[in-house]
Amino acid sequence: MKITACLTWLLLALPIHVFAQPTIAASAHSGALGGAPSTTVAVDLPSGTTTGDLVVACVSGGVSATDTSDMSASGWTHVLTVGGATTAAPKLSFLWRYWQSGDANPFTVTIGTQTNSNRRWTTWRLTGAHATPSAGTAVTDGATSTTARSYASITTTAANTLLLGCLQWSSNDSTYTPDGSLTNAYLVTRSASDTDTQAASGASGGYTGSGASASWRSLMWAVAPSTAAPATSVNCMLLGVCGW
């Protein structure tokens, strides 16, 4: 009994590591891009970006039945591209990179030939993210000729994740009301981005917003927290949850 009690005490006294959620240190956004249609788009990094910073980019385009590009960029990890081609919906793509000295700023994303006025982008500089930042498969939602502006439920594989979302719609307006649990990061004509945090792993549940009637597409991705150094290290006795 004494040995069992001693082992139980030792196990309960082990530290519980609590990792902080990734934090947005800075962001950058575009409005409508000028110039003639082309197959590339220049994307700026957020201010203060230095070696080792995680930068996440969402690049969007208009409805284009001929655009079959994956919206990739040299040296960047491609998460997911949706829309375009024959979907009758705007096109969106997520990419990420741990920035290194000498990397291009702005960097170049390839895209099918589109009118630049339909293109948008947003970039986030994050701190406290995992070296392999994905905390779940990116999800998409979309429809044609509706007033909905929604994100599908994303299932996260880690606790304390940061959710990043971006939206693009076909109507030439900035009418958008996000779901009440989201934080709107930016809003311009035809485009918006939003964020949320999720304390526990698992399904986030869907997010339902609204806008003017149009074709639209959304994309959401989850970023995992760093496990290099815990934000706090406590044990059950200090938390008062040992059940004694």
Q: Domain boundaries in the chain?
A: 15-239
CA angle 96, 101, 103 (to 5 degrees): 55
Question: Could you read off the pLDDT of 201-235 as tens digits, one per residue?
Answer: 999 999 999 999 998 999 999 999 997 443 444 44
What token pair was written down for 7?
Answer: 């082992």
Higher pLDDT, 6 or 102: 102
What is the average pLDDT value for the chain, to the nearest integer?
Answer: 83
Percent of the chain with pLDDT over 90: 57
Q: Which of 20-29, 132-141, 156-165, 198-207 has the lowest mean pLDDT?
A: 20-29
Residue 236 has pLDDT above 60, yes or no: no
Residue 64 has pLDDT above 90, yes or no: no
pLDDT recorded at residue 145: 85
Three-state DSSP class for 68?
A: coil
Question: Could you read off the pLDDT of 156-194 as tens digits, one per residue?
Answer: 999 999 999 999 998 889 999 999 999 999 999 889 999
Q: In whole angstroms, how far apart are CA 51 and each of 21, 98, 130, 134?
A: 21, 8, 15, 20
